[in-house]
Every structure is written in structure tokens, then in C-alpha cells.
Amino acid sequence: MRKIWLKHLVSVSGFLKIADPLIMCTTTFRQAVALIFDHVLSAESLPAGKLNAGSHTSRSSSVSGDVSRSINHSELMESEFVSGGLLLKRENLTKAGKLGLRLLEDLTALAAGGSAIWLRVNSLQRTFALDILEFILSNYVAIFRTLASYEQILRHQICSLLMTSLRTNVELEGEVGEPYFRRLVLRSVAHVIKLYSSSLVTECEVFLSMLTRVTSLDLPLWHRILVLEVLRGFCVEVRTLRLLFQTFDMNPKNTNVVEGMVKALARVVSYLQVPDSSEESLAAVAGMFSSKAKGIEWSLDNDASNAAVMVASEAHAITLAVEGLLGVIFTVATLTDEAVDTGELDSPRCDSDQPEKCTGQTAFLCISMVDSMWLTILDALSLILTRSQGEAIILEILKGYQAFTQACGVLHAVEPLNSFLASLCKFTICMPNEVERKSNALQSPGSKRAEFVVEQRDSIVLTPKNVQALRTLFNIAHRLHNVLGPSWILVLETLAALDRAIHSPHATTQEVSAAVPKLTRESSGQYSDFHILSSLNSQLFESSAMMHISAVKSLLTALSHLSSQCLPGNSSGFGQTSTVHVGSIGFSVERMISILVNNLHRVEPLWDQVVGHLLELADNPSQHLRNMALDALDQSICAVLGSGKSQCFTLNQLEDQKVEGRGTEMRLFESAVISPLRVLYFSTQFLDVRAGSLKILLHVLERYGEKLCNSWTDILEMLRSVADATEKDIISLGFQSIRVIMNDGLSAIPPNCLDVCIEVTGAYSAQKTELNISLTAISLLWTTTDFIAKGLIHGHIDEKETVFSLLQKLGSDDRPEVRNSAIRTLFQTLGSNGQKLSKSMWEDCLWNYVFPTLDRVSLMASTSSRDEWQGKELGMRGGKAVHMLIHHSRNTAQKQWDETLVLVLGGITRLLRSFFPSLQHLRNFWTGWESLLVFVRKSILNGSKEVALAAINCLQTTVISHSLKGSLPVPYLKSVLDVYEFVLQQLQDSSGITANKVKQEILHGIGELYVQAEKILDSGMYIQLLEILHLAVKQSKSVSDHSEVDNGIIPPVQRSMLEILPQLCPTEHLSSMWSHFLRELLCYLPRPEVPLQDNDIETEQVAETEKMDSDAPNGVAHNSKGKTEVPGPNLGMITEKHADYFTSSHLFGEKLVPLLVDLFQSAPAVEKYNIFPEVIQGLGRCMSTRRDNPDGALWRLAVEGFNHILIDNVTKINLDCSPNPNISRSARTRFWKEVADVFEVFLMGSCGRPLPSKSLSSVTLKANESLEMTILDVLGDKILKTHNDAPGDILQRLVSTLDRCASRTCCLPVETVGLLPSHCSRFSSTCLQKLFSLCSYTCEANDWNSTRSKVSQISIMVLLSRCEYIINKFLVDENDSDEQFLPTVRIEEMIYVLQELARLVIHSETASVLPLHPYLKEDIEKKEVQDSRAHLLVLYPSFCELVISREAKTTELVQVLLKLIAKELRLQKLSLAS
């Protein structure tokens, strides 16, 4: 039935020959054939599966996708074929097999144009028969591979048919020349080659040779396209291409058909070099790839012209050739990956250091394929990539580049790898033509035109092709980073150019115009590409952490090579070219640092390589490169030290001995990290490099100093050498590092390096280049001692002594600032750490450092020059040099050494103040104290003012600070007083500024000393203290300088004495010293220039008084008869010693008097009254100065003080009914005598007189007059009216003083009395009024006492005598003046006397002393009342004479008085009635 059906179908097909058999019958006929051959498979027990190798599959969107699909299809074919078992060739056939064989023979004959024997068909369309043959060949491979008969037919008949059909050297006519027939032939050939090449080697070799030859023949384009499609199919199928290459190219006996096939495809691509139609063809090729990428079948429009069709056909051919070449590339890549998967090759990610030799079959195959085809493929792909602009084709070709390059890398094919990398790199950056740029610069280096050209050429445009090429390059570098090796240089050159483009202000993309403003460009999308590329650029080097260490080294080597070849000495360039080189160097350095930072976990093997190149750059003549190298070295060192690696340095010191080897390695690496700085500093000839190395060291110490352990020796050695440099900037940088170490890093320094660190700091202190550095370094030594002091218990005593020794040496430096700072630091160090020093250390410090320093500085101060220095020359003016002014206090060397000496003394002062209780127990301390006292005496007497004051302060501070604490032994205090006394004895004839300042300081010192040490002072030391006070203020008259006094200024010494006097009041246990103290003060009160003598009282007044006394009425004599002498002040208390130097001024007295009064008031009662007379006497001397200096304030203050102490002391004691037994009577008597003397001298000699005055205002005059009235009130109201123990003669003198003062007006002749100033007459009248007050008595007043009675009795006689004298004088003047009026003063005085006499009422005891007739006295005594006017009886004769006066007021008052007398005698008129 099957035969019949088959024959029937053939007949049908022949019948329908006229119709379209391929459409109407092919399917049915193919089904019948399939049934026959399926039956053959079944009968011959062959695999029943159909491999469908001949089925036409659709393409994927990319060549790599086609390759992947071919791999899957090949695997499926192999699995299906193998699943049938391993089949051997068989000669015998079953009936079904024979039937199929006959059918195959007939179909072959029909396809060849012959007739069918078994089918009995004379003719059949060859196309139809060939189509059925192609179906059988592609779907029943097992039959041909297993059954020998079938294979023979394939070899001899079918292959012959196909070879004949492939011939192109004869003209093809009819059906054979149709494209469809040619397509079927080529498809059949392709199936034979793909499926049967292993058994049909010769035939396949012929087929392939014919196919490759066709591509170069002048055949119709559609024919070549069909051939190219077949060749492309071979290239994109991994199994086929592998089989072909193994069968032919790898067999020396056979032709290299695969190589020829690749060359044929490359020749097709080379058509693009023909300029006539290449641009249109390129556009069409790009369109085809773009459509394929989008999954759209590319096609022409229906109305396209013949030319368009021709271009499209050419483009199709080129596209097939390109895809074929790409297929070869992806096949090689796939096979390489297979070799990696099977272990024949190492993965590029493998960490193996050295690649093993390729021995695997697949690996060898891949290497052979690469070696034979890479150059052809590279030329073709680079051509198409150069000419193409379409995105899809560019991406596809770049994928091929990437795949082939990666395969070469895995295969370690260096030359192909480098060639593909170099080609790829050409498509990455469009850099300007450097040769043209150089020539332009040479032609016109200074012209604006050249600059414009260079700027335009510097514009960098990144096209999409560039961007994609760069991404491809990044992918390759990431994939092959472990195997690139020397090839890295190609990648790095491109990346360096990319880096310059990214940072170039002229860089742009092709889509954005360069004319667009920068702001617009920055916001456009082009910069996203830049950002992405920049990120990829960075990530490539960041990923070095995942590379094998050898790969990292290769990368670093390439970077070093890139940098080195751009160095000025290794390359030539001008202008912008050198800028490009610098950019490449910068890129290399930056990426080396990036690699180092990302490989810190394994930095040891990389460190020397990186640092070695940086040191090379640092020695380059270009400053820019040197700066770049220094910055990179800074980053490198800081990165390593800042990483976890540095923790190993520190922790290593605490590790156990078991890890000693690793610890040694870590210590050596730490030194290796720091040592480049040392090498750089000592080896370079460039100053900026030395400075840069020091800056790096500073950064390291600031950030990571505490982590360093084993590199301190190198660091300190380097810094020590810096101290000897002559460049100011270098020393400054080195010192900054020392400052960081001393302030923050001492705890990190090993103990064995601490001494070295201190010595280095001392070297910076001693350097002479920069003064501020020396000063700061000295302060750092102080910091060191504080640090050491915290660890004294751990044995750092030697380091502390090292610091002391350095400071002592610096204390003798020629520069004042340095030695002063060193001395301050030395003593501050001792002061701050003294509590931690033992006795032995204190002794060592005192005898080896402190006192030797004092001796050395003292010697230099005494022997240094006194010549004045000139300041720094500032310029010229008028032909003369202008110098900077230097202050007079430091314009000589000697003055500046004095300043240093002051600091030494100040330091000793602080030590003694703080540690004297401990120091006094040291051996030989008293000897040292005595030597210090000797030095102090010499310094005060022979040194400058500052030195003298410092010496005084040294003793003073020591004594005061420990006196209050009670820790100062008396001998030390006594020794200080002895020094003061000795010094003042030597300075008593000196009055210069220094001497006065010394005296002032000593005065303040003894005041403070007494306050603090009063409890330990005895009377002897107190007297010595007063003697010191006296020596300080006394001056010889020959050397006294009154210039300050004349200007109204108290001399400084006297002012200082006034300040301390309140402090010197004797304490309770020294109360007996009050007399000495106050007596010492009285010595400083001024005395009148000419003492008052008897002739100071007007002779006229004396004569009149004597006359008045001799002419007493009623024959009664005056009680004070014969006492006309006015005694002067007693100056005997002024000792000869004080008198010799008594030069106190009134101005000083003005300040001293109130102070004296206050001190006197605070004295104990007994001591007060022992010295009271002398105080009164001293105040009297001051009061008497009014005659010589009425404008001065001294006498006023003395009067006020005199009044004050009289009121407060005399009155209070008088009120005390129980007198103090310790106050002797003689003392009281002497006191009253001095009081009487003062009143007598002051009132008679200085009050109520027209004294000369220069410029007293009316206010002052009123105040003076008020003061006179006040003292009269004190005398009349407080002294004479109160109960006291004053002797009678004293009372007589006081009353007589009032009387004499009252006689001022009446004693003057009438011619001059009118000229008397008003205040004089008022004073005289007041004195007269006081006499009336002393005599008066009222019953209401309860103040009568024995003293009052005695005073009243004395006063009444004096008053009556004075009244009688006034009346008689008035009558005489009135008689002598004839008809003229008497002066008003005389008349008013007369009227006042008469009025007061009328008002006066006296006590009966007072009346008892009146010179009256006895019966009158008896009558008075008989009266019951105690008051009377008996005094009028005494003056009755005078009243009678006054009746005839011409003054009406006088006569009127006389009448009143006479009536009062009559009433007193009871003679008043009685009425007759009574």
C-alpha cells in the first residue's frame, strides 16, 4: 500500500507539474517520505527522534543570542543521537531499508535532472526533488551515519550532485539558475557540512572551498548573499565551527577552511572602504542591526528604487559578514568558557599567581583559533566600528570586542589581547591631534591665533560610540584584572585620557553643542555619562581589593610606567602637551593611592612599589610634580597609619613572645611607612620637598602619633637635624611636629626615646634662627616635666634632671627673651613639682641649678656692656639712617641682664615661699640663706632699681608668707631686719630715684612684715623696726630735694611711711612700745623756723599791762603782778639725732597730723598720758606754723587735732571720779603746762592778727576765723569751765592768755585802731566775752564746782582790770580827740564792755576776792543769795568819770550801771509814802 500510495503521489505531482508543486504537493509528498524513512528507522532499530537540523529557525536579536541558541540546539542533537546508543556501521539492510535506499537513489537522480528507476517517473522538478533530499539529510542523520549503503549514496551521488550544482564557472540555465534552487543547494551543502563533515572530510573541504571562493567571484549579489548566510550559519554554531576547525584547520593535511571562511567574511566587510556607496551601505547596515535589536524584520518599501535595492542588498551582505565574524568571536568565547568550566583553564577570577600551561583539548583548540583568526577579525571589526555610527551595530561589535578580548585574556594570548585592547582604546576618547597642536605652538608660541587654535583643539567630544567603548573597556578590565599584566598600560593610558576629559571644562557630548552655556550643559543629560564613567573609573581601582596580589602589583607597575613615560625627562612636549603629561602623571598617582587605600589589609607587599615611585616624582625638577608627589605620600602614609593595620603596631608591644616573629615584621613595616619621610628629607636638594616631608610628618603626628611605636627613633633623628637648619620655614615646620609630640604624644613615646625627645626640644630652644620657636620650645620643656612628674614613681628622674640641665644652659643664652623664658620655666617647673621632689633632689637642684644660675646671671649682669644699642635700621631720611626706638629700660646689654637677674630672684622667691618649711631642714641651708642675704645686700646697694626691688621682694615674700603660718624661725626674721637696717644706713645720704624706691619698698615691707609677724616680734626687734623706719625717711639737709614738696607733692618715701604707720601700732604684748612709736612720729612733725621769743609780744601791750597793774583802783594789787613774760615752746624733746635730719615739710605734716591724732586716740590710757605732753607739744609746733605759713593747712589740722584730743581725753578723764593710779601727778602737771604753752603761744602769736596771706579766699578766711573761735570755745568752755586737776598757776596763765588776746583793740593807739581788720577786733571781743563768761554765774546753771570757782576768782580780777583799762583809755582818747569822733571800733568796744558789766552777775565766792571795803564784804556775805553785782562797786570811780563822755550811748549805759550800783548798795530811790 505504501508503494502504491507513493507512486500515486508522484503521478499526481507530475500531473500538477504545470501548477505550483512546491506549494500544493510538497507537504503531502514530504509526509509520505517521512513515513518511509520513519519505517526505516524503526526497522533498522535506529533512534526514532528527528533532530530537525534542517528546520529553518528564526534569528535572535543579536549574534551572541544566535550562538547561545546554536549551543542549546547542538546539545539537544547530541543528546538525542547518543540516547539511541553507540551505533556501528552496518552493511546489511532490511526490506524497509532497501525500500528507502531506492527512494533516495531516485530522488537523487531526479534532483540531478535524470529519471527515477524505482519510482518510474521520467521527470520531476529538480527543485522539488532537491527539497525532499534536503529534508531527508537534515532529519534522518542516524540513517546516514549508521547504514553504509546510505552513506555511499551520500558520498558519491548526493555530494556529486551538490558539487555540480555549486559550480559557478558554467552558465546556469533554467530551473538550476533560479535563486530558490540555489538556496536549496546551499542549504543541503550546509547540512552535509554541519552533520557529516566528520565522515565526509574531503567532500566538506571541497564544499567549504567552493563557498569561500564564491564570496569573491563576480556573481549576482543574491547568490553571494545566499552563500554568506550559509557561512554565517557555520560561524554562529559552536559545534559546527569547532568541528570544522578541528577537522580541517588543526589537521596539517587539510586546508585551513575556517581561516579561509573568516577571511572571506572579512573581504566582504572591506567593501566599506570603497568610497562610492559605502556611506549609504553603512547607514543600511546600521538600520538592519537596529531593526534586529528591536526584534523587527528589516525590509524595503515596495516602491523602492533599484538603487535602493542594490544598497540594501550590499548592506545585507555586509551584515551577514559582520555577524559571521561576530559568530566566530562568540564561538571562541564560548569554547573558552567551556575550557574554564572543565578546568582546562583557570578562571580570570582565580587567585593563582602564575598561569599554568594550557594542555586541555578545548583550551588548545581555542588558542589555535585565536592565533589563526584574530588579526583578520580585528581588521574587519575595527573597520566597521570606525565607519559605523548606529547604536545597535556599535553595541554588537563592542560585545564582540569584549568577548574576544576576554577570551584572549583567559587564554593568555598576549599579542591578540594587546591588539584588541589597543584597537578598542582608539574608539574611547577623541583627543586632539597632539602633533598638530605642537606644530602650531612652535610656529607662533605667543600669538593669540595659536592660543585660539589650541583652545579649539582642546575641546573633547564624547560620542555614544566613545561612551560604549569605554564601558566595554571597563568590563574587560573588571573581568581580566588578574590576567592583564603588562597589558594594563593600554587600559591606563585610555583611562588617563578619560580622566582628563571628565575634568576638562571643554568636554562635551556629541548631542550637546559646545556653544551652549556651561550652566545649561551641567544640567543636561551629557553629564550623567560623565558621572557614570567617572564612577566606573573609580570602581575599577577600588575593586583592586579583590585582585590577586600579583595582579595589583602589575597594575601598580603599569601606573608607574605610565607616570614615568610622561615625566619631562622621558618625553618631549610643549605647551599643552606637557599639561597632558602632567594630567597623566596625576591620574597615575591618584589611582596608585586609590589602590593602596583599598588594599590596606595587605599593604606590605605594595608599599615599597608605591612609595618608590612617589619618591622618584618628589625628586623631579617640576615643582608641580613634587607637590603632587608630596600630597600623595601624605595620603598614603596617613591611610596606612589610619587603618586597622596601625593597630597592630600598638598591640604588637603587648603580644606574647609566641608571636615575636610577626611582631618584628610589623615593627619593621611601621618603620618602612615612616622612613620615606626621612629619606626624602635627607636626600633631596629641593627646599620645598624638605618642607613637604616635614608637613607630612606633622600630619602623621597630629592624627596618628599615639599609634606609633617603633619609628620614634627615626622621627626624632629627623627632627633633630631640622633644628640645625638655616631656613626659617624648615625649622618652623619641624618645630610644629615637636610641639605636637610634646603636647599630645609623650604618652606614646617609648621610655628609651624620652631623653632623645627632650634633647631635640632643647635643640629647638637653642637654635638662633627663629626666636618664637625657642620660646615655645622652652614652654614645651615645662610640659615635659609635668608629664615626667606624673611618672616619677616609675623612674623618670634622669629625664627631669635632663630638663633642668637644658634650662640652666638656656638661662645663659645671649638672647634675653630665651634666657628669661628658660629661667621662668626652670623655676615654674621646680615650683609646680616641688612637692614630689625628695630631699636629695632638692639639694641637687639648689646647689647645681638654682644658686649656680643666680651666680652666672649676676656675673653677666655686672660685667656686661653698658653701651646703648641702636635699634633696627628702618630706612633713610635726609641722608641719615632712621633706627627703631628701643625703650630706655632695655637699651643696653647690662639692663637686659638685670631683667634676667630679676627673674632669677623672682624664681627663688617663689621657691622659698612655697617650700621654705621643707628647705630649711636641708643640709647647709643656713649657709645658702646667708649667701642669699649677702647677694641681696649687694643687689640693693649696687644693682639697678629693678634688681634691688626684686632682691627686697625675695626676702620680704619669704618672711611674710611663713611668718603668719608660724613656720619662720626668729633668726631668719632677725636676719632680714638686719639686712634692711644695713642697707638703709648705707643709703641715708642717697636721694636718687633708685634709693627712694628701695626705701619705699623696705617701708612697705616692714609694714606688711609687722602685720604678719607681730606675734613673734619682741620689743628689741620692734625698736629695730622703728629705727629702720627712721633711717628710711630721714635725709641730710645737704642732699634733701624739695622739688616735689614745692610742687605740692609728698616725697614717695614719706608717702610710703604714711601708708604703713597704721600697720605699725604696737600690739597688746608690745603696749609698752606705744611711747616709742608715738615719739618717733612726733620727730617728723615740722617746727617753726624761728621760735617765739618774749619780744614777740608788743612792748606797748606789756607796758600798758604793767601800768594797769600798778594803777589798780582802791589800792588792790593784781594777782598776776610781775608775770609779763610770754614763754616760748618747749623744744627740748627733739633729740639731737632727730634734729640733725629734721627736714620734714609742712605738706608731710599735714598728712601726718591727722594720722598721729588717730593713732594717739587708739593708744592705751597709761601709754597715752605718758606721751600726752609730747603730743601736745608736737601739735603746738604745728599750730605755730601759722605765723610763717598762714596759707598752709598744717596749722588748721593741728588745731583740729589739738581740740579733738583735748575734748576727748581731758574732759573724759575729768569726769572720771576715780583717777587711774598708773597716771602720775607729774605727768598730769607736765600735760597742763604743755596745754597752757600751746594756748599761750598760738592764741597770742597766731590768732587775731593781720597775718600776711597770698591767696586766701573769703571762704577760707571765714573758716580760719571759725577755727579761732572754736579753740577759744575749747579753752573757755571745755577747759576752764569743767572740773579738772589743772594747777592754779596754769589756770592763771590760761586766763591771762585770754586777757592778753582781749587787749588787742584797747592797747592800740586811736590813730591805728581804725585800721585794724574786722576779724582781729572780733577775735579780741570774743576773748573779752570769754572773760565775762568765766566770771558770770546764774542760779539755773548747775555747773558750779571748785575749778569753776577758782577760775571765776582769777578771771574777775583780770576782767575788772581790763575793763578799767578800757574805760580809762576811752576817756583819754576822747579828751585827746577834742571835737573829733572816736573810731567806731573803740566806741563799740566801750559800749560792749558797759553792756556786759550791766548783765554780769557773779557768785558770792567770786565776789569774796574783790578789793572792797570790809563792811561791804560783810554786807555781801550776809546776803542770802549767792549772786550779786559787787564787781560794779570796784569800777564805781571809773563810771563817775565816764558820765561826762560825749557819746550819748555811753552816758546812757553809765546811768544804768549807776542805778545798778545804787541797787546793790540798797540806795535806790524810795517813795515818801513808804
Tell me which DSSP letter residue 981 carries: H
d(CA 30, CA 21): 12
pLDDT reported for residue 57:
47
Strand-pairing partners, residue 880, are 877
Residue 523 CB-half CA count within 13 A: 4
| DSSP element (H, E) containing 883 | strand 880-883
Contacts of 568 (CB under 8 A, 6+ apart): 578, 581, 620, 621, 622
Q: Which long-range contacts (CB under 8 A, 24 or more apart) does 1100-1103 make?
A: 1100/1307, 1101/1300, 1101/1303, 1101/1307
Mean pLDDT check: name the lowest of 291-295, 1137-1141, 1215-1219: 1137-1141
Contact status, residue 1248 vs residue 1320, Cβ threshold 8 Å: yes
Sign of the alpha-carbon torsion through 1006, 1007, 1008, 1013: positive
Residue 1110 has pLDDT above 60, yes or no: no
346-357 burial, b at 16+ Cβ within 10 Å, e below that, comes to bebeeeeeebee
d(CA 1006, CA 1012): 10
pLDDT reported for residue 521:
41
Tell me which DSSP letter residue 137 carries: H
pLDDT reported for residue 1170:
83
pLDDT, one tens digit per residue, over 375-422 is 999 998 888 888 888 888 888 889 998 898 888 888 888 899 889 888
Mean pLDDT check: name the lowest of 502-506, 541-545, 673-677, 1229-1233: 502-506
pLDDT, one tens digit per residue, over 1253-1289 is 666 678 888 888 888 888 888 888 888 888 788 888 8
pLDDT, one tens digit per residue, over 757-816 is 888 888 888 888 888 988 888 888 877 777 776 654 444 556 667 788 888 888 888 888
Among residues 808, 809, 754, which one has the least CA distance to residue 783?
A: 754
pLDDT reported for residue 1105:
40
Cα-based angle 66, 70, 75 (whole degrees, multiple of 5)? 155
**Looking up cell 583559533, which residue turns up?**
369
Per-position DSSP letters for 1375-1403, written without gaps between them? HHTTTSPPPHHHHHHHHHHHHHHHH--EE
Sign of the alpha-carbon torsion through 603, 609, 610, 614: positive
pLDDT, one tens digit per residue, over 141-178 is 888 888 888 888 888 888 888 888 777 655 555 566 67
pLDDT reported for residue 639:
87
pLDDT more than 90, % of the chain: 1
Residue 1378 has pLDDT above 60, yes or no: yes
pLDDT, one tens digit per residue, over 1418-1463 is 777 776 556 778 888 888 898 898 888 888 888 899 898 888 888 8
Contact status, residue 478 vs residue 457, Cβ threshold 8 Å: no
| DSSP element (H, E) containing 706 | none
1363 pLDDT band, cuts 50/70/90, is: very high
d(CA 565, CA 557): 12
Please provide the average confidence, as pLDDT, over all residues in the chain.
77
pLDDT reported for residue 1246:
83
| Residue 1287 φ/ψ, nearest 5 degrees | -65, 160
Query: Which one has a higher pLDDT value, 682 or 73?
Result: 682
Average pLDDT over residues 324-340: 89
pLDDT more than 70, % of the chain: 77
pLDDT, one tens digit per residue, over 1382-1415 is 888 888 888 999 998 888 888 888 888 888 888 7
Residue 436 has pLDDT above 50, yes or no: no
Residue 1247 CB-half CA count within 13 A: 33
pLDDT, one tens digit per residue, over 723-754 is 888 888 899 989 888 888 888 877 778 888 88
pLDDT, one tens digit per residue, over 1231-1261 is 889 888 998 988 888 888 777 666 667 888 8
> Helices (DSSP H) in 510-643: which residue ranges?
518-523, 526-542, 549-565, 576-598, 604-618, 623-642
Tell me which DSSP letter residue 463 carries: -
Q: Which three cell numbers stand for residue 19?
A: 501548477
pLDDT reported for residue 72:
58
d(CA 820, CA 543): 60
Mean pLDDT check: name the lowest of 447-456, 591-600, 767-776, 900-909: 447-456
